[in-house]
Chains A and B, each alone.
Chain A
């Protein structure tokens, strides 16, 4: 582990939290505009977190307190680590070489798991129902998610995200496999809201049904940590999609001859822009224009329809490669 990596490892969480919150702010603003409202300022999530940190942290009487308090930390740590695996435009991922796409899959699961365990540990009936729902939902969407990742392993014969980011997937696949990759992309886009617990798949946190579900008993600092981990994961998930499916760099499109700092700045901004577009399409627009599914409907959607899309995509990729 070089000092360089250590520097990354400290700078990235700060940057990750910052970007996650900014994207959440943009998401809320755009969502408000979609419903013909003015909406909160983009800084709003920062204030929310600031306020939550200021508030008293209550541990309910019948909760298992060490588990209850540990889970928000694990959730935030896992989404933070997830961010460290994602190459930032032309920048290398800080943890490159310490395990790749498979670890990403695990880290995505870990955060949901932490929330579910936190829900079980809080001892409220609403939280327990929420945690059960989260587990069911997780089991449903993991399959298409894994299929997407297997598809990429088939194409690249490797799980390294850096390899994937440096050679765009579209340049090495033929027309049939290309169609397969598009189907994989669609499958991943449908999985995104479920992974991020956003509408129409925010079944585990349904406000009107089970009073915020797993998070019902959390307050103060613990809630702030979940809030942050949610924001960071939103950014990381969109960034992952960009890395996998839209890896084009500006310099390769326009044949720019940029070097040094200007290259990094331009590419970083371009990367952030791509992430924003994916975020707005896959999260904001979808969460604003759909109603919440019932848990068994959501399961059916993932097990049947999304799985079919992903598997057909995988088959096409396999035929094409």
Chain B
């Protein structure tokens, strides 16, 4: 019997993908023999828009780069901008930022665990994990006023203070997650079917991880101890000894597969809970904003020249923002964003080649992709599929204007 080849397009709209991206796979039976990953469906031109707006507006634009890690991009934004502008946030604000960032890590990791359970068809586990996730969302809503998109950060501080009632809720939450996470370890790591579906799937070796520039939990699952919180500490992380969690610390061996990614993420929840506990126990008193008045802040930005890089360890990996303020306008003159999924998606093509159709959702999900984070540029192709560069594009635009002028009969 000759094996027939099928062409399976996955995406841009597909139930396994919650966001638009396209994976084109040629399969023989169940085996994938050819794969192509196409991105760019969620490109919104955020950096370009940010360079036209003022810094405060751009900060909130950066929050909408991604809704799941909605504090990661603002965090990198404020850290980078503060470096560029020479503003230092008060210690209390730094601690509050760290608490919010770790709360977000808890919610994002639990979300990922639920999603990956859903991808392998384990819907009851999705329901169970998301039931536990509501607790941290409640706390975030209590502190920030919304379940997602917290709008907490500001250049030079945070906008809302932690009150007594918030700290009480946080302490209660810490106790809850200590127990919940223990149960989660039992349910995920000990489940035979879950293990059968994830062990050996999406296996990324150390060398491969370095080659495709994997970051965050994906790289840590492959055994690379890399974590921005440990390598370039900032804010409250500078006071805490954060060590990146790698599977060899926990079980002694590294496979680098989706099962290890689960392991790393579950143990990182423990770590986040510890960090939050440290922060609320050692929360300094004082101001929460270096420059509380936005008008003053904007005029200071307008006067300042400088550049800086802000990095933050988002739940998915490192987020890096580059800024240049040129002292002529109240927004960034140059703003460049590097999101973790941009690196991690590189691992799809090598991992999918030779895998099975059933593994596509697991491979796609295990890096916790975030398309909206990584679609940063739009590429224009001509009819033959060649990329059109900017000079040609400009020439074509001029030509089109001339043609339209001619058609309309406009005289110079």
Q: Do A and B come from one complex?
A: yes
Contact of A203 among B128, B358, B361 (CB under 8 A): B358
Q: Indicate whether A208 sits within 8 Å of B15 (C-beta atoms), given known contacts A35-B124, A291-B117, A294-B197.
A: yes
Query: A241 to chain B: closest CB distance in Å?
Result: 23
Asked if B48 is an interface residue, CB under 8 A from chain A, the answer is: no
Contact of B358 among A199, A211, A294 (CB under 8 A): A294
Beta-carbon nearest neighbor of A34 in chain B? B124
The residues of B that contact A295 with a CB separation of less than 8 Å are 30, 356, 358
Q: Which of A36, A128, A199, A208 has the most CB of B within 10 A?
A: A208
B194/A291 in contact, CB under 8 A: yes
A208/B127 in contact, CB under 8 A: no
Interface string of B190-205 (1 = CB under 8 A from A): 0101101100000000
A87 CA to B65 CA in the complex, in Å?
62
B127/A199 in contact, CB under 8 A: no
A294 CA to B131 CA in the complex, in Å?
27
Asked if A125 is an interface residue, CB under 8 A from chain B, the answer is: yes
Contact of A125 among B9, B124, B127 (CB under 8 A): B9
Contact of B128 among A35, A209, A297 (CB under 8 A): A35
Interface string of B349-384 (1 = CB under 8 A from A): 000000011111100000000000000000000000
Asked if A157 is an interface residue, CB under 8 A from chain B, the answer is: no
A34 CA to B122 CA in the complex, in Å?
13
Asked if A207 is an interface residue, CB under 8 A from chain B, the answer is: yes
Contact of B120 among A132, A133, A288, A291 (CB under 8 A): A291
Asked if B14 is an interface residue, CB under 8 A from chain A, the answer is: yes
The residues of B that contact A294 with a CB separation of less than 8 Å are 196-197, 356, 358-359
B360/A288 in contact, CB under 8 A: no
The residues of B that contact A128 with a CB separation of less than 8 Å are 6
A126 CA to B8 CA in the complex, in Å?
7
- Contact residues of A between 33 and 75, Cβ < 8 Å to B: 34-37
Interface string of B279-292 (1 = CB under 8 A from A): 00000000000000
The residues of A that contact B193 with a CB separation of less than 8 Å are 200, 290-293
Query: A317 to chain B: closest CB distance in Å?
Result: 29
Interface string of B116-130 (1 = CB under 8 A from A): 011111111101100
- Contact residues of B between 300 and 334, Cβ < 8 Å to A: none
The residues of B that contact A209 with a CB separation of less than 8 Å are 16, 357-358, 360-361
- Contact residues of B between 16 and 34, Cβ < 8 Å to A: 16, 27, 29-30
Q: Which of B7, B127, B359 has the most CB of A within 10 A?
A: B127
Asked if A210 is an interface residue, CB under 8 A from chain B, the answer is: yes
Contact of A208 among B8, B29, B119, B196 (CB under 8 A): B119
A297 CA to B359 CA in the complex, in Å?
12
How many residues on chain A are close to B (CB under 8 Å)? 31
Query: Number of A-B pairs whose CB atoms are under 8 Å?
Result: 84
Beta-carbon nearest neighbor of A203 in chain B? B358
Q: Indicate whether A202 sits within 8 Å of B121 (C-beta atoms), given known contacts A208-B16, A290-B193, A291-B191.
A: yes
B358/A125 in contact, CB under 8 A: no
Interface string of A145-160 (1 = CB under 8 A from B): 0000000000000000
Question: Which secondary structure dominates where chain B touches chain A?
Answer: helix
Asked if A206 is an interface residue, CB under 8 A from chain B, the answer is: yes
- Contact residues of A between 182 and 209, Cβ < 8 Å to B: 199-200, 202-203, 206-209
Contact of A206 among B9, B125, B196, B358 (CB under 8 A): B358
The residues of A that contact B6 with a CB separation of less than 8 Å are 125, 128-129
- Contact residues of A between 103 and 130, Cβ < 8 Å to B: 125-126, 128-129
The residues of A that contact B357 with a CB separation of less than 8 Å are 129, 209-210
- Contact residues of B between 211 and 264, Cβ < 8 Å to A: none
The residues of A that contact B123 with a CB separation of less than 8 Å are 35, 199, 288
A203 CA to B361 CA in the complex, in Å?
13
Beta-carbon nearest neighbor of B195 in chain A? A291
Interface string of B1-14 (1 = CB under 8 A from A): 00000111100001
Asked if A163 is an interface residue, CB under 8 A from chain B, the answer is: no
The residues of B that contact A37 with a CB separation of less than 8 Å are 127
The residues of A that contact B9 with a CB separation of less than 8 Å are 125
The residues of B that contact A289 with a CB separation of less than 8 Å are 124
Contact of B131 among A36, A199, A203, A290 (CB under 8 A): A36
The residues of A that contact B131 with a CB separation of less than 8 Å are 36
Q: Indicate whether A293 sits within 8 Å of B361 (C-beta atoms), given known contacts A125-B7, A126-B8.
A: no
Query: A207 to chain B: closest CB distance in Å?
Result: 5
Query: A294 to chain B: closest CB distance in Å?
Result: 4
Contact of B121 among A34, A36, A211, A291 (CB under 8 A): A291
B196/A293 in contact, CB under 8 A: yes
Beta-carbon nearest neighbor of A294 in chain B? B358
A211/B359 in contact, CB under 8 A: no
Question: Apart from A128-B6, A293-B196, what are 14 other A-B pairs with CB-CB below 8 Å?
Answer: A125-B8, A129-B27, A199-B121, A200-B193, A207-B15, A208-B15, A208-B121, A291-B122, A292-B122, A292-B193, A292-B197, A294-B196, A296-B30, A296-B356
A-B CB contact pairs (8 Å), 25 listed:
A31-B124, A35-B123, A35-B127, A36-B128, A36-B131, A125-B6, A126-B8, A129-B27, A208-B120, A209-B16, A209-B358, A209-B360, A211-B14, A288-B123, A288-B124, A291-B122, A291-B191, A291-B197, A292-B193, A293-B196, A294-B358, A295-B30, A295-B358, A296-B30, A296-B356
Closest 3 CB pairs of A and B: A292-B121, A291-B122, A35-B127
